[in-house]
A = this chain, B = another copy of it.
Amino acid sequence: MQNNTITAPRGFLAAGVRCGIKKSGNLDLGLIVCPTGAKAAAVFTTNKVFGEAVTVSRENIKSHSISAVVVNSGNANACTGYRGLLNALKMCSRTAEQIGTDPWKVLVASTGIIGEQLPIGKIITGISKAAAKISASALPGLDFAKAIMTTDTIPKQAVRRLEISGKKITIAAAVKGAGMIGPNMATMLCFITTDVAITKPLLKRALKDAVGDSFNKLTVDGHQSTNDTAIILASGLSGNRPITSQCPRYKRFAKVLEEVCDDLARQMALDAEGATRMFKVVVKGAATKAEAAKAARAVADYPLVKCAVHGGDPNWGRIICAVGSAGVRLNPDKLSCKLGDITVFKNGRARKFDTKKASKVISQAEHTITVDLGVGNKSDFCYGCDLSKEYVTINAEYHT
């Protein structure tokens, strides 16, 4: 069986164990190790309040080489002050000790409840347990993907393979995130491994671009968490001639990396808390790309649109309403809207359409809403998901 987990690229080991943070007894501690050291890049939350693990990883990412990533779920270690910061540092030092590296070569991430101190004793024991289990095979890779889950219902992974200068390159990733997801990242942790040989600045650029066109286009509930982190580790073990400029080889790598992230973003949308389906909002005819993005997000975030999608209701009035109040330039007499291929609104007027057919389009696992603002030629998009009763149940009952 082909390994399609985070350990698929050469040079990576992983493990996922239960250390006892989650009351459910599910896996809650994950570890990725790159014994030869990896070039690394990361993108973090822009929330002004951020977790202690983010503080530490923001520093450690500056290291020339990263040897490991340690992650716990069930507790976000956010708003925990000096003690929380110390605990994040301890997670790094314990991991370093176990695998024989320096603490500043370890990245750390946490996700879960905000404002509670980590049960650091359990985590320390868990790190030893994980270090004893690390392996390059598929099962520990899957365990890692499971160990980072919170309200996710399924582990989310993606893998892509490509060739660069005759060498096989693998990009693999595991992601968590099911709610509290707004453009510009959210309660989302993403870990990407690859064996490509590339410079650190180019790796960072590729990650930033890929995140910008995938995770940052996804909105579940319009907000961004304190702990968002996307990390990429490149072991360089594929043997390709190192990528040192924005050459065609870089572009191929960057494109496939974006595909991986896009794949994960869609998985997150479909596994969003209570979501039963997702949709893509494409806004064209905008004056600027930023306005297209703003309008697309306004539609994807609008609870009434999300409810209409949930009900399979081709209620384009709510789409038009969201666009009209998005604060972007539009021409009311040229404004148009399509659900899938069905034109429901054209040049500012309702169009007769087959509502049964339109309802079928919307009821698919994924469909596209296209809006033309009629003022320019710029476009952008956003991913959204429906809003169900289960979302409310999950979030009214996930107690602090």
Point out residues on A near B: beta carbons under 8 Å: 46-50, 76, 78-81, 113-116, 179-180, 182, 184, 221-226, 298, 301-304, 307-308, 310-311, 313-318, 320-325, 330, 332, 335, 345, 348-350, 355, 387-389, 391-400
Closest 6 CB pairs of A and B: A114-B317, A311-B396, A307-B395, A49-B324, A115-B350, A389-B389
Q: Which of A225, A316, A321 neighbours the largest number of chain B CB atoms within 10 Å of its CB?
A: A321
Return A392 CB to nearest CB of chain B, in Å: 5
A-B pairs with beta carbons under 8 Å apart, 23 shown: A47-B321, A49-B320, A49-B321, A79-B350, A81-B348, A114-B317, A114-B321, A116-B350, A184-B325, A223-B321, A223-B325, A224-B321, A225-B325, A226-B324, A303-B391, A307-B396, A308-B396, A311-B396, A311-B399, A313-B398, A317-B400, A388-B396, A389-B389
Q: Is the beta-carbon distance between B320 and A392 smaller than 8 angstroms?
A: no
Return A146 CB to nearest CB of chain B, in Å: 24
Asked whether A399 and B303 contact (CB < 8 A) given A48-B325, A332-B49, A388-B392, the answer is: no
Residues of B within 8 A of A116 (CB): 350
Report which of B113, B315, B388, B393 forms a contact with A400, defined as CB distance below 8 A: B315
Question: Which residue of chain B is the closest to A331 with respect to CB atoms?
Answer: B48
Return A224 CB to nearest CB of chain B, in Å: 4
Return A283 CB to nearest CB of chain B, in Å: 14
Q: How far is the CA of A298 from the CA of B221 in the complex (A)?
A: 12
Q: Is the beta-carbon distance between A313 and B78 smaller than 8 angstroms?
A: no
Residues of B within 8 A of A47 (CB): 321, 324-325
Q: Is the beta-carbon distance between B324 and A179 smaller than 8 angstroms?
A: no
Taking A48-B332, A307-B394, A310-B392 as known contacts, 6 extra A-B pairs with beta carbons closer than 8 A to each other, sorted by chain A number, are A49-B320, A49-B324, A81-B349, A226-B320, A226-B324, A355-B400
Residues of B within 8 A of A49 (CB): 320-321, 323-324, 330, 332, 335, 348
Q: How far is the CA of A49 from the CA of B322 in the complex (A)?
A: 9
Q: Is the beta-carbon distance between B302 and A223 smaller than 8 angstroms?
A: yes
Q: Is the beta-carbon distance between B316 and A115 smaller than 8 angstroms?
A: yes
Question: Which residue of chain B is the closest to A187 with respect to CB atoms?
Answer: B321
Q: How far is the CA of A322 from the CA of B79 in the complex (A)?
A: 14
Q: Is the beta-carbon distance between A396 and B313 smaller than 8 angstroms?
A: yes
Q: How far is the CA of A304 from the CA of B316 in the complex (A)?
A: 26
Q: Which of A325, A332, A393, A399 neighbours the largest number of chain B CB atoms within 10 Å of its CB?
A: A325
Residues of B within 8 A of A396 (CB): 307-308, 310-311, 313, 388
Q: Is the beta-carbon distance between B395 and A392 smaller than 8 angstroms?
A: no
Return A328 CB to nearest CB of chain B, in Å: 8
Question: Which residue of chain B is the closest to A328 with respect to CB atoms?
Answer: B48
Q: How far is the CA of A308 from the CA of B345 in the complex (A)?
A: 37
Q: How far is the CA of A310 from the CA of B396 in the complex (A)?
A: 6
Residues of B within 8 A of A114 (CB): 317-318, 320-321
